Structure 1
């Protein structure tokens, strides 16, 4: 909506402060999302009489003093339980992405994000003290729900404040704290070799996020769509004042907008069903959610795969995190120079080529490098998809759309650890299983509309009309009218 951007500016001091406080929450997201690498790393063991499996194995504690594998003997017939732990965590992220997305559309961005942050802190600390595998797994699954909520709601708040001129840059920078957190996780894992202290450490560092209760603002776009005109005007006056812009007649402008625009469209409160009730929105939602699923499936799967390859686990994790950071920086000029659709198609194709190439290479430094290239393009798809999705769907269902897409991404992340387990059946199996799907996603993305330089949509009607080709007769009538005017 141009009116809101004109009142508070595209990007000013207030936007910078908002981005800072929201970006800080992404470190905890990275820590918990990637923690499984150090909670359940590969570990060697020996059994009496050289048996392959036994009830009381002797573990090699050279690298890690205690992991969930050594603590609960997740080896041999129980080895699948460590993959189940991560799958259920991602199921929690899946559920949280959807539930918190829907809740923030209904109750507001601010309360939804605060609840998610408080849950993340308490549950993260609680998890480190749990005595058995099943309590650890179940509480960690609920922790995943809070992580999903932080990811979705935080991004939407930022996008609803920043003007479309800087939206592509800010959406890319939004992922930088995640990649930096990914890198820091390697150092955390190196310094803390006991899984319980490791879990406690990555949770305690987020305690400062309790400040959200005092300082986190609501989204003015959500307030306006929910007919909270007075609150929206007061918030916009504060933002304009901090950004050194005019604060005159903001209340009147908001009221005029409500009368002339929202009243005409009808103040219909959207929900997730609207994304599938309308054919154009349904098509966009299906393609976008599949794209998120594939990018997450490839990113988390290949990151996990690389950590199991030859070499130092800490170096491999830091390297893959650094590649993601490079992808965040690289995608900024690319989104400025190119449109969203060709960029996400090209990134998917290049990711596919890179991942399929691993199947043709022997394990070693070369396969790690090519795998990092695959991670680079998979993460680039992820970055573009976040922005693309926020621009494609209207305010009344934006969080629901991103929440549903993020839910599908978690489904991909749930499947990924089991695909990594294909290695015993052939070194080529996992790379091929990861490499095929980005090609399918690239083909489907050709069906999506272009959103670059478009103002954020507000209503279901705008979302349904967006990207549709105008009727030919309408085009002829428009041409006639233009000729008459000239």
Structure 2
């Protein structure tokens, strides 16, 4: 496969074929954020109190305020206790009003959810309050665990069965179990369906980006990762509009399923990666797809190049063994994985805490969503001007520092904290786009998906730990921020160990990935090709 870069130039490395493929694979990213954002809105806690309707038997004409005053104890701040009530007594109303009630107990007849922000959430439907209050955190972890498993399962699956199937099957699973989530009769069915949705989420994300990237030339390679992130940011804003007008979490699930059904229909027509076909020795299939791509781009493929593809031997195989026996590749893998873990922990910790920055939860989410749109355009510019290494280091070091700065601001200054947290999340998101591009350029084709799958798996472990890290605030409110900020800073510093891969061809062998490859300058017009000495892949 040493000549695929030259073949890609000949058929057009960013023509109509690549643009259609890029659109088809990035479009679902408008919908995927619905799944993550639903963890914030569908899991939102409510103002609740114990059901004390027993007193209506002796005082049916009591006002709501009088009912609560007689049956619920108050907290030191004057509000009603959400998890305690006075023990019911067999007295008449006048005796209760004269002597009052003193003995308390936990809620014996369920809860009343009186938050007017939402019509229904999983908290209200499954009573995830009081002793069960942390179960919705567990639901968040279950979803993120599914994302982790998706990366583990669909990484090797992609190496064996192709990038195409590894993007199609997750979308089908996501459609089915998004609907199952919406009709879940109890919390356990909800958890199981969300776990499978998480698997689909993780499987599609990593494979769709790789499939798009392996068809795109060096000058536009960052588009696949960055454009998918831009659309993901737009998806957050779209979901915000949906949940603002539809405050019922079950109905939101069905709204999500609609566009997913459209994606499931067209996703079956996407082409396979020619690079992967050549790795597997399926040169005839690769030739057919290359010719189709050339036809769509209105180019012709010289017979000499076609024969070169047909006669090309499959590149080396070895999977995970190559990744860890090569000292250089092992260093690259551990460094990029550490960075990806640190930024994921910070990003998801900040995302899941969107309702705790003092401002309205809808306003915070709008700010978070809109702030992500420019970061990826900035990321595309930075990747091509400053390079991968500098972009990653700056994003992680500055982003981690901004997170730590939130601790230096008075906690009553909600606007300043929200601004710093938004900027920190802004940079962590940009660092994620850099990692998505960077990791594909560090490893050869034979283990590219394996390396990305393993690294993504580790990153998903970090994101799965985000709710757990956030729980550490019960010991001190500074602990979660200290953890995520310090790790981001450390990973930014260690990123210095990585090589610069800007404007180099994707490596086709371990030797090339270890540094024995030449830079390949981007060009702006087909006629410039003669002036370029292509590095063969």
Pairwise same-fold verdict (TM > 0.5): yes
Q: CA deviation at 1:466?
A: 5.3
Assess, with a 3 A threshold, how the Cα gap between structure 1 residues 466 and 52 changes in structure 2: closer, same or farther: farther
Which of 220, 228, 238 is the matching residue for 1:174?
Answer: 228
For 1:327, the equivalent position in structure 2 comes to 375
1:176-215 correspondence runs (5 A): 176-215=230-269
Deviates more, 1:232-241 or 1:270-279: 270-279
For 1:256, the equivalent position in structure 2 comes to 308
Q: Find the aligned partners of 2:267 and 2:479 in 1 and give their Cα distance.
A: 48
1:386-425 correspondence runs (5 A): 386-425=436-475
Assess, with a 3 A threshold, how the Cα gap between structure 1 residues 201 and 436 changes in structure 2: closer, same or farther: same
- Kept in 1, the 8 Å contact 2:27–2:228? The answer is no
Structure with the higher fraction of residues in helix conformation:
1
For 1:444, the equivalent position in structure 2 comes to 494
What do residues 154-210 of structure 1 show as CA deviations (whole Å, max 9, x unaligned)? 000110011001112443222111111111121121122111111222222211112
Q: CA deviation at 1:139?
A: 1.6
Deviates more, 1:458-467 or 1:96-105: 458-467
Q: CA deviation at 1:21?
A: 0.6
When normalised by structure 1's length, the TM-score is: 0.91
Q: CA deviation at 1:99?
A: 1.3
What do residues 106-126 of structure 1 show as CA deviations (whole Å, max 9, x unaligned)? 111111211111111111111
For 1:164, the equivalent position in structure 2 comes to 218
Larger radius of gyration between Structure 1 and Structure 2? 2
For 1:226, the equivalent position in structure 2 comes to 280
1:143-158 correspondence runs (5 A): 143-158=197-212
For 1:34, the equivalent position in structure 2 comes to 37
1:352-371 correspondence runs (5 A): 352-361=400-409, 362-363=411-412, 364-371=414-421
For 1:476, the equivalent position in structure 2 comes to none
Q: CA deviation at 1:299?
A: 0.9
Runs of 5+ in structure 1 lacking a partner? 469-486
Q: CA deviation at 1:128?
A: 0.9
Q: Find the aligned partners of 2:283 and 2:14 in 1 and give their Cα distance.
A: 22
Q: CA deviation at 1:426?
A: 3.2
For 2:72, the equivalent position in structure 1 comes to 49
For 1:82, the equivalent position in structure 2 comes to 136
- RMSD over aligned Cα, in angstroms? 1.9
Q: Find the aligned partners of 2:114 and 2:160 in 1 and give their Cα distance.
A: 52
Assess, with a 3 A threshold, how the Cα gap between structure 1 residues 89 and 388 changes in structure 2: closer, same or farther: same
Assess, with a 3 A threshold, how the Cα gap between structure 1 residues 426 and 467 changes in structure 2: closer, same or farther: farther
Q: Find the aligned partners of 1:173 and 1:310 in 2 and give their Cα distance.
A: 31
2:360 aligned with 1:308: no
Q: CA deviation at 1:422?
A: 3.2
Q: Find the aligned partners of 1:270 and 1:178 in 2 and give their Cα distance.
A: 34
For 2:434, the equivalent position in structure 1 comes to 384
For 1:8, the equivalent position in structure 2 comes to 11
Q: Find the aligned partners of 2:482 and 2:497 in 1 and give their Cα distance.
A: 25
- Kept in 2, the 8 Å contact 1:270–1:460? The answer is no
For 1:336, the equivalent position in structure 2 comes to 384
- Kept in 1, the 8 Å contact 2:48–2:82? The answer is no
When normalised by structure 2's length, the TM-score is: 0.82
2:118 aligned with 1:95: no
- Kept in 1, the 8 Å contact 2:397–2:488? The answer is yes
Deviates more, 1:167-176 or 1:387-396: 167-176
Deviates more, 1:266-275 or 1:112-121: 266-275
Assess, with a 3 A threshold, how the Cα gap between structure 1 residues 433 and 462 changes in structure 2: closer, same or farther: same
Runs of 5+ in structure 2 lacking a partner? 51-70, 74-80, 84-105, 519-537
- Kept in 2, the 8 Å contact 1:101–1:399? The answer is yes
2:449 aligned with 1:426: no
For 2:326, the equivalent position in structure 1 comes to 278
Deviates more, 1:200-209 or 1:438-447: 200-209
Q: Find the aligned partners of 2:475 and 2:238 in 1 and give their Cα distance.
A: 33
Q: Find the aligned partners of 2:211 and 2:224 in 1 and give their Cα distance.
A: 12
SS in 2 for 1:227: coil
